[in-house]
Amino acid sequence: MKTAIYPGSFDPVTNGHLDIIRRASTMFDKLIVVVLINPLKNYSFSIPERVALLTKVTEGMRNIEIASYDGLLADYFKQRADIDVIVKGLRATSDFEYEFQMAHTNKDLNPRAETVFIPASANTTFISSSMVKQVAMFGGDLSKYVPAVIHEEISVKLTGEFEEKRRAAAKKRGEI
Ligand code: COA
């Protein structure tokens, strides 16, 4: 039995991530999608929120497990003897250098941690979580970028967050 792990921030999960999840889940007996933290990023969604969104969009996919971990991917890999390989998506050559560094760092930290790359499907190569968040903050149409079952949750959360930021900025300028 071959088990792969697909790590990421998933802030929030997009159709691009779902493309990789679907395709990887047909290549391995089991796929663990794990929400991790990049300490250099500011997140809009909490870990439980990101896990809940991933759980919703993968409902009905039988060999998927959703998990989260507050630590190094290499350590999570060490703790779970059932994991064979790390899967990452590559959208463009611009992803390559960062992903290459991460793959080598993970292998350096845990020699058992090999990474395989899956090329993103052509129609998802331009999607990113930041792009989705910007569109959502301005109330734009998310239907091509995010699974329909989570549109509303994402829109409500991000328009609310953006409104708060606008209000705080106006207050700072003394306008309210
Ligand atoms: N389709 C659409 N978007 C995709 C994508 C795909 N197939 N693959 C990646 N992306 C996007 C993400 O949405 C994200 O967009 P954003 O920058 O606008 O938010 C971006 O590409 C990067 O995504 P991700 O691969 O999740 O990178 P990350 O830097 O957010 O997180 C972790 C990387 C969490 C996996 C990494 O930091 C980690 O392993 N953290 C744990 C601590 C650790 O071990 N650190 C050392 C690692 S060397």
Measured in angstroms, how far is the CA atom of residue 40 from the centroid of ligand 1?
11
How does pLDDT run across 140-176, given as a tens digit for each residue?
999 999 999 999 999 999 998 888 888 888 888 998 8
- Give CA–CA dist 89/98, Å, rounded: 12
Q: What percent of the chain has pLDDT over 70?
A: 100
**What is residue 166's predicted lDDT score, i.e. its pLDDT?**
84
How does pLDDT run across 52-102, given as a tens digit for each residue?
999 999 999 999 999 999 999 999 999 999 999 999 999 988 899 999 999
- Range list of β-strands (E), the chain: 3-8, 30-35, 64-68, 85-90, 115-119
Residue whose CA is closest, atom 35 of ligand 1?
8
Active-site positions? 17, 41, 91, 129
Contacts 24+ apart (CB under 8 A), 23-28: 23/118, 23/121, 24/87, 24/118, 25/61, 25/63, 25/64, 28/2, 28/3, 28/4, 28/63, 28/84, 28/85, 28/87
How does pLDDT run across 29-58, given as a tens digit for each residue?
999 999 999 999 999 999 999 999 999 999
Nearest CA to 87 out of 29, 8, 1 is that of 8
Q: Is the dihedral of CA 34, 76, 68, 66 positive or negative?
A: positive
Measured in angstroms, how far is the CA atom of residue 9 from the centroid of ligand 1?
5
Spell out the domain ranges in the chain. 3-123
The CATH fold assigned to 3-123 is Rossmann fold (3.40.50)
- Give CA–CA dist 41/24, Å, rounded: 26
